[in-house]
Amino acid sequence: MNTLIQISDCHIDDNPKSMGVDTHSNLKKVINKINTLDFEKLLISGDLAHNGTLNSYQLLKEILMPLQDNLIIMPGNHDNAKNLNLLFSQNLISNFSLGNWEIITTNSVQQSKTSGYLTKNALSTLDASLKNTEAKYNIVVLHHPPVPMQSNWDDALSLKNCDEFFSVIDKYPKIKAILWGHAHQEKEFKRGKIRLISCPSTALQFDSEKRIGFNRYTLYDNGNLKYDTQWLE
């Protein structure tokens, strides 16, 4: 049994206030809570910063310092790839293992666009990773929702080429779950036997939920997956 924690959409900026909330204080609350839990890896699924400034990533690094040893990150549409790499190059890991599981990330970010798109190269890399994995079970993670959120979220801001994405996914029965952020809400869907799970934001939610939160996944050696959303006021 292994534990993976996912946080998303921290939106740290040079100033604490972003999108009308104190994103710095909110993330600190989340990190303090996570620091009390047992887990193997912490994954941040994009939008670590709000405007992608170098200073914002320096501030973020300070907040994340207690969990640096277990940290894996991937970019979102608000992130600046160059600045992110300057501060977090050692944490930009595309694939990683937890027991019988391999978690495979794919980059859905389009330059200067809010919506997501997986390039041919990204799709072929994802395909190769899933084909060559020696793990018994897989989880795929991207920043953008690959399915309609069935909420007040604007689905035009989600992944644009979902059909191409699922044409790869549907080839591999070892995939147990697909995770994402971007939509700032917690929700679960199903596609056959695959669980599709949206992670809430550490900053604020775009639905009626007033709390901040994160997802905690328990990955069992037999392929079962359980998760719960941890909410903080």
Q: For 63-99, how does the pLDDT look when each residue is reduced to its tens digit (9 = 90+)? A: 999 998 899 999 999 999 999 999 999 999 999 999 9
Neighbours of 109 (CB within 10 A): 25
State the CATH number of the domain containing residue 74. 3.60.21.10
Say what the pLDDT of residue 179 is.
98
The answer to whether residue 141 scores a pLDDT higher than 90 is: yes
Number of domains into which the chain is organized: 1
| C-alpha angle 43-48-54 in degrees, rounded to nearest 5 | 130
Q: What is the pLDDT of residues 28-59, one digit of tens each?
A: 999 999 999 999 999 999 999 999 999 999 99
Sheet harboring 71-74: ordered strands across? 71-74, 41-45, 2-7, 212-219, 225-232
When pLDDT is averaged across residues 141-158 and rounded to a whole number, the result is 94
Closest CA to 5 of 54, 51, 64: 64
**H-assigned helices in 118-222:** 120-132, 162-169
Say what the pLDDT of residue 233 is.
82
Q: What is the pLDDT of residues 174-231, one digit of tens each?
A: 999 999 999 999 999 999 999 999 999 999 999 999 999 999 999 999 999 999 999 9
The answer to whether residue 3 scores a pLDDT higher than 90 is: yes
Say what the pLDDT of residue 196 is.
98
Burial class of 19 by CB neighbour count within 10 A (0 to 12, 13 to 18, 19+) = middle
Domain membership of residue 93 as a residue range? 2-232
